Amino acid sequence: MQPLRIALGLLALVTVFFLVVPAQTTLFSGRRDAGEPTAAVERADATAGSEPAAVPLAVPVAAPAVRAIDATPIDTSGLTRLPAVTSGAATPPRPEMPEASAADEVPAAVQAPPPASEPEVASAAAAPDGPSYRLFPRPIAVDARTLKTGDLTLLVEDVEPVASDARCTDGTQAWPCATRARTALRGWIRGRSLMCAVSPDQRDAREIIAPCLLGEADVGDWVIRNGWAFAAPGSRYEAAEREAREARRGIWAYGLADDETAARSGG
């Protein structure tokens, strides 16, 4: 048994020697290295031996051919030279105007006068003596001629109201004529505004005597034509009063307790 153990120990030592000793050129390793190159050497040889990839080169484009210019002068012997244009040659001729004779001259008296410095219409409109039209809002009738609007008093021109104490009669009945006339005028105006033509000397007055319009109706004509007032002597309303008397309108539909002169207020 002892010799066997020694033999196994030697065998183990030899095996360890070959496994542990670093790779050096030995008899066995030299043969193996010489006969079988490593994979790394093969890869290096393969890389060194391979050719680089071909890179495509740009093909030069041929430039267009340049046409040669013929320097031979052009023959101008057959051309006709036009005459040079002088100043005014392109302007059409002007017709000759006959000279004015002494008989054709317009006399100074016939010539148009110079324009006026100020239009006559404007000066007439700006005349200070003309009436000014003023609007009086919501007047209240005091009688058939007198109206109050604010702190102003309007007296309708050419109208004479019935006296405040005059009485109208119908048989045995009697009543104040002025009250009936005032009621009729108030009912016709009904809070509407009047347009009156105020003369220049009354522009600052508190009591104004003027003709007035309600819309397009003449206030004086309406109150007299309907028989609620007298027309002033010589006024434009005398024909309207005659019409009211004949038609028996207003106070003319009844009798007067007093004579007509007393029935007038003298306005």
* CATH number of the domain encompassing residue 200: 2.40.50.90
Q: Given the structure tokens 């109201």, which residue do they identify?
A: 161
Confidence at residue 211, expressed as pLDDT on a 0 to 100 scale: 97
* Cα→Cα distances 217→79, 120, 124, 175, Å: 96, 31, 27, 29
Cβ-based burial of 156 (10 A; exposed 0-12, middle 13-18, buried ≥19) = buried
Counting the structural domains of the chain, the total is 1
Q: Which amino acid is at 110?
A: V
Q: Is residue 176 included in any domain, yes or no?
A: yes
The encoded tokens of residue 219 equal 């206030």
Give the dihedral sign, CA 134/138/143/148: negative
Confidence at residue 84, expressed as pLDDT on a 0 to 100 scale: 60
Q: Is residue 232 included in any domain, yes or no?
A: yes
Confidence at residue 68, expressed as pLDDT on a 0 to 100 scale: 59
Q: Is residue 105 included in any domain, yes or no?
A: no
Confidence at residue 159, expressed as pLDDT on a 0 to 100 scale: 97
**CA 128, CA 53: separation in Å to the nearest integer?**
116
Strands ordered across the beta sheet of 132-136 = 132-136, 194-198, 212-214, 217-218
DSSP 82: P
Residues ≥6 apart with Cβ < 8 Å to 33: 25
CB 132 within 8 A of CB 123: no
β-bridge mates for residue 175, sequence order: 168
Q: Is residue 156 included in any domain, yes or no?
A: yes
pLDDT one-digit tens code per residue, 48-101: 445 555 555 555 556 665 665 655 666 666 666 655 655 554 555 565 665 655
**CA 55, CA 53: separation in Å to the nearest integer?**
6
β-bridge mates for residue 197, sequence order: 133
Q: Whole-prediction pTM value?
A: 0.52
3-state secondary structure of 189: helix
**CA 155, CA 194: separation in Å to the nearest integer?**
12
Residues ≥6 apart with Cβ < 8 Å to 260: none
pLDDT one-digit tens code per residue, 12-31: 887 877 776 555 555 444 44
Q: Is residue 178 included in any domain, yes or no?
A: yes
- Determine the distance from the C-alpha atom of residue 97 to the mean position of all C-alpha atoms in its chain, rounded to a whole number: 52
Q: Which residues of the chain have pLDDT under 70?
A: 1, 20-128, 259, 265-267
Confidence at residue 39, expressed as pLDDT on a 0 to 100 scale: 47
Q: Is residue 248 included in any domain, yes or no?
A: yes
Phi and psi at 206, nearest 5°, equal -95, -20
Residue 136, domain extent: 132-261
Q: Is residue 15 included in any domain, yes or no?
A: no
Q: Is residue 64 included in any domain, yes or no?
A: no
Euclidean distance between the first and final Cα of the chain, in Å? 183
